[in-house]
Amino acid sequence: MPGHKVLVIDSGGRGNSIAHAFTRSDLVSHVYVAPGNAGSELMERCSLATKDGNPLKSIKDLLSFARENVDLTFVGPEGYLSDGIINAFQAEGLRAVGPVKEAAILEGSKCYTKDLLQSLGVPVPTFANFSDPKEAGEYVRWFCSSNPEKNLVVKADGLAAGKGSVVCSSLEEALSAVERIMVSPRIFGDAGSKVDIEERMEGRELMFFALSDGKTVLPLQSAMDYKQAFAPEETAAIRNFNKVAGNPNLDNNPNTGGMGGFSPHPWLDEELIEKIMDKIAIPTIRGFKEKTGHDYIGIIYFGLMVTPDREPYVLEVNVRMGDPEAEVILPRLKTDMYLLSEALLDGTLDAMKLVWSRDSCIGICAISGRVVKPLSSGGGEVPGYPGAHFTNMPITGLDKVDNDVLVYHNGTAFSSDAQGGRRLFSTGGRVLTLVARGGTLNEARAKAYENIKRIRFSGMRYRRDIGLSYIQEPLEISGGQK
Ligand code: GLY
């Protein structure tokens, strides 16, 4: 049967998992990924979209590829959405899933979104926005002296690859975060010309996803994501990271795009889903339409803190699937991904029923960690992701991973070795996300940690506590911190 052709725009593990979901559709004959990575070439019925042998990156090239080759395009990352890729595709009558540029502001400006949510009565932590670093510093001093038992989170307003929040544990850390984001060295560049400073809430984080076709809002599934680079008890590693990275806050556990996660979230039951839909997801999408006139079409991601009395507060809104959340949610999706995408575009989401596997999926991200180079190779030390890190490290061991375990690639490429064979190399901070499934989180976790030990590259590191505080019987996990 000649099926449909799909283009997935994404360069990371999220893109691998979205492409993988499309390859499982009986309606799809081929999936192209751009810019993609080596993982996109390893899936059946999937390949990189290229021009003259090079991956496609610009909206112009992606448009012209889509016009000639595919029936539907699915856009993963926020950068393309904020740059108006959906608007450009729509202008040519092409079918592309994702929010338009005007709606991508929900992720593109944290200050705008916090103001909007507050005006809509959506629960958010106490916050204040600043474009003047002096005023921001005065607020930090005032807040900390008025609330000595509380702490703050300082967030860059703009896009910062998911790393733009500094979670602080003291007045000094918060002041330093304001300085480093807004003044010098401006660690997130122009994204930090404004900041959203909010009260650090206690509770459990939960990443909640929903679909919207502009009329119907449907809950997708949830995940837990581990944003901080290190487990909290890895104090020596945290201090060393900051020392090498030149961060004066030696005890600050830096945020990353995500170090691993799992789905479903054990805290999310029907009652909490209903509460999140009624208090957060539906009012946000309806309120945004009322205030701006723009429909929200695509996936929306609410980063939530659920307090011990089970009240959800919005920490952030993103206009896409998360990474690594997509890697642990989408393998559980049984509903046809192509039909679901068509329902989003045709405004027929109300007729869709989402079916999920009851399995737990857990994902562990293998990242490019600290490397000390021997003097014979020039010496030097890099702190590792999310700071400076080495790439081009050969990766081995994927062939030793169990057949029922998935490995989605975040930052990899193939290149030729001296013998003319193909070798896999790292190209980024996050390199691979290994995803295992099981009847319980504990079972999935045991399988994931057993398998990730078989993969190797120089500087490889992963967190060993993914899922740990959510299970009954902790595992002994050896290895990992290489
Ligand atoms: N994992 C967090 C994000 O995708 O923003």
169 with 251: CB under 8 angstroms? yes
Cα(71) to centroid of ligand 1, in Å? Answer: 28
415: CATH: 3.90.600.10
Tokens encoding 367: 């990242």
pLDDT at 450: 98
275: CATH: 3.30.470.20
For ligand 1, say whether the CB of 467 is within 6 Å of any of its atoms. no
CA nearest ligand 1 atom 4, residue: 322
pLDDT at 472: 63
- Separation CA 37–CA 408 (nearest Å): 10
Among candidates 416, 456, 467, which has minimal Cα distance to 432? 456
- Separation CA 30–CA 69 (nearest Å): 10
| CA atoms in the 13 A half-sphere facing the CB of 8 | 33
Q: Which domain holds residue 428?
A: 360-470
pLDDT at 476: 53
Is residue 265 one of the residues assigned to a domain?
yes
Which amino acid is present at 464?
R
Cα(258) to centroid of ligand 1, in Å? Answer: 6
Is residue 111 one of the residues assigned to a domain?
no
pLDDT at 481: 33
Pocket test of ligand 1: the residue of 106, 301, 320, 466 to mutate, having most ligand atoms within 8 Å of its CB, is 301
- Separation CA 104–CA 301 (nearest Å): 12
- Separation CA 327–CA 317 (nearest Å): 19
Among candidates 108, 155, 102, which has minimal Cα distance to 129? 155
The ligand 1 atom at the shortest distance from the C-alpha of residue 14 is 4
Is residue 440 one of the residues assigned to a domain?
yes
225 sits in which H/E element? strand 217-225
255 with 161: CB under 8 angstroms? no
- Decide: pTM greater than 0.75: yes
Among candidates 44, 43, 33, 40, which has minimal Cα distance to 66? 33
Convert the pLDDT of each residue in 271-302 to its tens digit: 999 999 999 999 999 999 999 999 999 999 99
Q: How many domains does the chain have?
A: 4
Pairing of the two strands 195-199 and 127-130: antiparallel
pLDDT at 479: 43
Regions of the chain with pLDDT less than 50: 478-482
Dihedral pair phi/psi, residue 105, rounded to 5°: -60, -20
Cα(324) to centroid of ligand 1, in Å? Answer: 7
| Domain shared by 367 and 434, yes or no | yes
For ligand 1, say whether the CB of 327 is within 6 Å of any of its atoms. no
pLDDT at 477: 52
- Separation CA 297–CA 63 (nearest Å): 19
Which amino acid is present at 362?
I
- Domain-ending residue, one of 78, 100, 122: 100
Cα(76) to centroid of ligand 1, in Å? Answer: 11
pLDDT at 375: 79
| Domain shared by 238 and 310, yes or no | yes
